[in-house]
Structure 1
């Protein structure tokens, strides 16, 4: 079992601890494994009984003392399903522990390996926040930044991207970032640290040196440095969206929409100009809202000229008439039932991005007639004809502006509104 690395209930929720949780399961993945050893190891790690049932019918339960348990669990404090059947769970008395969600996520990954699914190891490393701050600073001398990069295990000659991660209220953003990135979602060297209320992630890929013109992400392929293709396939944002999609799929759509993670991806940059990518990442984060992976992950490069909206003062955005009307609609000030304003804006945003009623309905997991009814309500209240490209463009700009004016947290609490994140 490679030993028990920690007792979760006694530790603070920080990125370094999250990495050790992931490393524990990676150690299990690297050795001989069976259902009994996985439940025994997980129970010892979490300090409470753990169990699993694989799709092929194999099952096991164990207590934290390593003794196998029989029968049906009396209290399941947390569970993650497996496809096409089965799941993994913890049986902690009372409320879940601070790391239970992360433990279950990685127990599920390990269980899928037992069920025959392949696994590729890419554990991010928790970095010294002081070194990351030095790399992202515009005040330090270049030799100091070069030294910090080397101490972080990064090369001063290879382009990097900086990612800003915002987590759910009341959670440790460093742990949220590591939990997301530890799914194998990113290629290359990944360093994670907390930067104030955000998680700061440095990603460096080994494909080629910095080219002229890359210092601010302005490569010949629209900022796709470090081996990313010009069409966006294999991009950092795509990999992050895949990781979020996998996480949401395991936990169900409702849980995925509620997990509250938002991600902004900066453009490729010369490592000595990482502050530019960091500024772009934080700007992109303002366009992100919790919800589907497409909405929750925003790439500054993909936004294009829309990113310029972030330069407009919030006070000016919030007083623009279209933005004010959308805000009133979202808040239900026109007599909508509770939550209906958010549903209306979600339908509007999905339709603006796809231009198709059926595609919007598919993204929202609704019948197209339900989406049509919501769009008709929006048209009636705001006087737009959404089949008209000009009105649809106007509506989409208003949605972007409302998102920025609302602070990036989801239109006054109406999270998951949009699909605007990809530009």
Structure 2
């Protein structure tokens, strides 16, 4: 790092941009992104394809839109070697840009960090086994047998996560690498329709952030024979979960927390009883939809309202959003005019919190 800073000292006007680039990749490492997240974000910043290759024919390529796919470097790509015979690469048409060398160096370091975090992948056994283990209609002896075949002790601690996402080349790896290593490596996954079930032996961290492109609901910790209860709780929690996304440019990754069933409290009855059609036509939701659809600023405004509900005050929300409190106040005033009620009092914030929760339930049927 010291050598890198010394090189930047001679860049004068470009030093600030270089430091921002370094900070950007440091953020990716701190956020513990998987390879697809690192490469996708790097490609967006570079505005050209980047990737990780070798050894062997396999590799991962990210395009300027942030999407990833299997593939290797094209002829003429700039390459930076990693440990283990792999290499990061950058392929730009035309003349190289001033910071391409620095970007490739930091990309290689970020890929190396992502690779070093990757433990043993959860074993993708017959999904019918896990489906049986978490089914409320399967007889207990069948569930116990399925648990034993999956490697779980029927009386041991057990938690199920419901994960929406993970259908790309990296699958569930970005989620699995954020989970603690379970006893004896007992983590099992199965795709059950559009949602993945991830079964883990043992406790989970108190807070878990979803990687970009994922939503996560966490069921209650139970004994393994009570797996259906954990799965049902995970599905209800998933309905309240937002999707993490990677913002374009040097903005930080916006990561949504996984929603734990234990945190739902009375809100669980909403997930249990209300379907999407039952929520349609509520005026407060129509207003939120209209605010979200405003060109350019709709997403920021909805994010501000969600943070305000969680933070409880304008100043606390401003700190969370890294904005001046006057900027947040302007957004809130605009929202209040559309909603038709104030957000400075507890009643108004509760009404907004309920509307935001119902909007997520409507948009997340699973």
Q: Normalising by the residue count of structure 2, what TM-score does the alignment of the two structures yield?
A: 0.66
1:145 aligns with 2:143: yes
Q: Which residue of 2 aligns with 1:132?
A: 130
> How many pairs does the alignment contain?
286
User: How far does residue 408 in structure 1 lie from its aligned partner after superposition?
Assistant: 6.2
Q: 1:317 to 1:40 in 2, by over 3 A?
A: closer
| Contact kept? 2:78, 2:91, Cα under 8 Å | no
52 and 198 in structure 1: CA distance in 2 versus 1, 3 angstrom threshold = farther
1:162 corresponding residue in structure 2: 160
Q: 1:372 and 1:52, CA in 2 relative to 1: closer, same or farther beyond 3 A? A: farther
CA contact (8 A) 2:132 2:143 kept: yes
User: How much has 1:263 moved relative to structure 2?
Assistant: 0.5
Aligned residue number for residue 106 of structure 2: 87
In structure 2, distance between residues paired with 1:385 and 1:85: 49
- Any idea what the Cα deviations from partners look like across 1:247-298, whole Å, max 9, x if unmatched? 6xxxxxxxxxxx3210111112232221221111111111111137763411
Q: How far did residue 130 of structure 1 move?
A: 1.1
Distance (Å, rounded) in 2 between the aligned partners of 1:363 and 1:285:
23
Gaps of 5+ in 2: 1-33, 36-51, 60-70, 94-99, 246-253
What is the aligned partner in structure 1 of residue 300 from structure 2?
343
- SS in structure 2 of the partner of residue 363 of structure 1: helix
User: Residue deviations 1:27-46, cap 9 Å, x none?
Assistant: xxxxxxxxxxxx88546542
Q: 1:125 and 1:376, CA in 2 relative to 1: closer, same or farther beyond 3 A?
A: same
CA separation of 1:385 and 1:156: change in aligned 2, threshold 3 A: same
In the aligned structure 1, how far is the partner of 2:338 from the partner of 2:321?
22
| Contact 2:287–2:339 (Cα < 8 Å) also in 1 | yes
Identify the residue that residue 398 of structure 1 maps to in structure 2: 355
Residues 2-401 of structure 1 mapped to structure 2, 5 A cutoff: 41-42=54-55, 44-46=57-59, 48-49=72-73, 60=81, 74-75=91-92, 86-88=105-107, 107-110=112-115, 121=119, 123-167=121-165, 171-172=167-168, 175-185=170-180, 187-188=182-183, 189-205=186-202, 226=203, 234-235=205-206, 238=207, 240-241=208-209, 244=210, 259-291=212-244, 295-310=256-271, 311-331=273-293, 336=294, 338-401=295-358
CA distance in 1, matches of 2:56, 2:118: 24
Matched residues in 2 for 1:40 and 1:260: separation?
Answer: 23
Following TM superposition, by how much is the alpha carbon of 1:107 offset from its aligned partner in structure 2, in angstroms? 4.0
Q: CA RMSD in A?
A: 3.9
Counterpart-to-counterpart distance in 2, 1:408 and 1:368: 35
Name the CA distance, whole Å, in 1 between partners of 2:87 and 2:364: 50
In the superposition, the TM-score normalised over structure 1's length comes to 0.58
| Matched position secondary structure for 1:194 | strand
Q: What is aligned with 1:18? A: none
Report SS of the residue matched to 1:280. Answer: helix
Cα offset, 1:133, TM superposition: 1.0
Deviations 1:59-109 (A, max 9, x none): 5379xxx7999xx95449xxxx9x9993336xxxxxxxxxxxxxx976442
Checking the alignment, whether the CA contact within 8 Å between 2:55 and 2:86 is kept in structure 1 is no
The answer on whether the counterparts of 2:217 and 2:234 sit within 8 Å (CA) in structure 1 is yes
Distance in 2 between residues matched to 1:68 and 1:267, nearest whole Å: 41
Distance 1:40 1:283 in 2: 40
Distance 1:126 1:163 in 2: 15
- Preserved CA contact (<8 Å) 1:263 1:297: yes
SS of 2:160's equivalent? strand
SS of aligned partner of 2:342:
coil
CA distance 1:264–1:280, change in 2 (3 Å): same
Q: Contact 2:82/2:112 (CA < 8 Å) preserved in 1?
A: no
* Contact 2:314–2:325 (Cα < 8 Å) also in 1: yes
Change (3 A) 1:261 1:296: farther
Tell me the distance in 2 between the aligned counterparts of 1:319 and 1:68: 53
Residues 139, 373 of structure 1: alpha-carbon distance in 2 compared, 3 angstrom cutoff: same
Shift of 1:142: 1.6
Query: Cα deviations across residues 391-412 of structure 1 (Å, max 9, x unaligned)?
Result: 1111111110111112369xxx
